[in-house]
Amino acid sequence: MRHAFHFGGRGSRFVPYLLLLPGMLLYLLISLGPSLATVFYSFTDASGLIGSPTKFVGLSNYREFLFLGQNARDNAEVLVRTLEFSVLVTVIQTGLGLFVAALLNQRLAATNVFRTVFFMPVILGVTIVGLTWTLFLYPLGGPAQKVLALLGGHSEFLGGPPFQAFLWVTWVQIWANMGVTMIIFLGGLQTIPSELVEASRIDGASGWQSFRHITYPLLTPSLNTNLTLAIIGSLQAWQLLLVMKGVTNGTQVLGLIIYAIAFGRTVQNPTAVAMRQGYGAAASVVLFVLVLIIGMTAQFLMRRRERRVLG
């Protein structure tokens, strides 16, 4: 249904269409089109090299990625790790962000300084953050190693057992992005009238009780935003992993594997590995299905809670 367009004479009816076109075309060309094309690509054995003989192979890429030999287990591990990453990042980042926002909301001294310090990593970017922490975790006597030595331990940190390295990178991811979560919660907290909280305190409620029954429910919109951003974002975030760990077994998530397959970078065969973009496209579709399922479920649950809590 269209609404009456009042601007200009009879001839300018098409003006909004015309001006809509550049943005729309760009979106179709660069974003929507390629996203859909991924699905078609996944049914070919395209290498990605222009001039490579390509043929249609149906579902064999999917069969290979999900079911062939040990791929089933290795890729399932990657899927699980992607989920682990997402859950850890979402839960801890959101929790920490809420905690810090609640602390800062008390209008203590130097709030601005703290806020700046916590938000800085968001601005510094993935490379600076990744390299800074790599230095901090330097196993040959870096600060983290020194602290651990005081407690009598030794670790290779990022160079040790993959699960351990993975946890470290997850921590850095949380550390780096907590600032955004914190700001969003701060904004949400500031919309809650302080009279409500004060009234409850006067009525004898403890700090924790007033938080749980008044503040927290009213924070639902901010919470939902943060959760959505964190869930979807973390399912697709792997740049930090690439910077800090590179392409190594045991620390990859699905996004990273897709890149490695598509651009000829795998651990198994570092020097002569060929690009396999058809196969990579199939892995992309698998990730898409994962995001779809988790994202939609999360959205559904959040909306339901929002209705219940806020009425």
Segment 197 to 256, residues that bind other proteins, using CB under 8 A: 202, 204, 207, 221-222, 225-226, 229, 232, 236, 239, 242-243, 246-250, 255
Residues in 103-132 at the binding interface with other proteins, rule: CB under 8 A:
103-104, 106, 108-109, 113-128, 131-132
Question: Count of residues binding other proteins (CB under 8 A)?
Answer: 141
Nearest Cα to 154, choosing from 138, 170, 166?
138
Nearest Cα to 287, choosing from 250, 244, 257, 243?
257
Residues in 38-57 at the binding interface with other proteins, rule: CB under 8 A:
38-39, 41, 47-53
Q: To the nearest whole angstrom, how small is the minimum distance from the Cβ of residue 56 to other proteins?
A: 16
> Of these, 43, 57, 62, 64, which contacts other proteins (CB under 8 A)?
64
CA distance 260 to 275: 8
CA distance 193 to 195: 5
Residue 262 makes CB contacts below 8 A (sequence gap 6+) with 48, 275, 276, 277, 280, 281
Nearer to other proteins, 160 or 193 (CB): 160
The verdict on 264 binding other proteins (CB under 8 A) reads yes
Q: To the nearest whole angstrom, how small is the minimum distance from the Cβ of residue 169 to other proteins?
A: 14
Residues in 266-305 at the binding interface with other proteins, rule: CB under 8 A:
267-277, 280-281, 284-285, 287-288, 291-292, 295-296
Q: To the nearest whole angstrom, how small is the minimum distance from the Cβ of residue 83 to other proteins?
A: 17
Task: Evaluate whether 102 touches 211 at the Cβ level (below 8 Å).
Answer: yes
Q: To the nearest whole angstrom, how small is the minimum distance from the Cβ of residue 205 to other proteins?
A: 12
The verdict on 150 binding other proteins (CB under 8 A) reads no
Nearer to other proteins, 91 or 267 (CB): 267
Q: How far are the Cα atoms of 59, 64, 274 from residue 262, in angstroms, in the given order?
A: 17, 15, 9
> Of these, 5, 59, 80, 303, which contacts other proteins (CB under 8 A)?
5
> Of these, 80, 136, 213, 301, which contacts other proteins (CB under 8 A)?
136
Q: To the nearest whole angstrom, how small is the minimum distance from the Cβ of residue 206 to other proteins?
A: 10
Residue 41: how many other CB atoms lie within 10 Å: 22
Residue 27 makes CB contacts below 8 A (sequence gap 6+) with none
Task: Evaluate whether 100 touches 118 at the Cβ level (below 8 Å).
Answer: yes
Please give the DSSP secondary-structure letter assigned to residue 28. Answer: I
Residues in 17-36 at the binding interface with other proteins, rule: CB under 8 A:
17, 19-20, 22-24, 26-27, 29-36
The verdict on 7 binding other proteins (CB under 8 A) reads yes
Q: To the nearest whole angstrom, how small is the minimum distance from the Cβ of residue 192 to other proteins?
A: 13
Q: To the nearest whole angstrom, how small is the minimum distance from the Cβ of residue 165 to other proteins?
A: 9
SS3 sequence, 62-127?
HHHHHHCCCHHHHHHHHHHHHHHHHHHHHHHHHHHHHHHHHHHCCCCCCHHHHHHHHHHHHHHCHH
The verdict on 95 binding other proteins (CB under 8 A) reads no
> Of these, 16, 91, 193, 308, which contacts other proteins (CB under 8 A)?
16
SS3 sequence, 167-236?
HHHHHHHHHHHHHHHHHHHHHHHHCCCHHHHHHHHHCCCCHHHHHHHHHHHHCHHHHHHHHHHHHHHHHH
The verdict on 76 binding other proteins (CB under 8 A) reads no
> Of these, 174, 180, 227, 253, which contacts other proteins (CB under 8 A)?
180
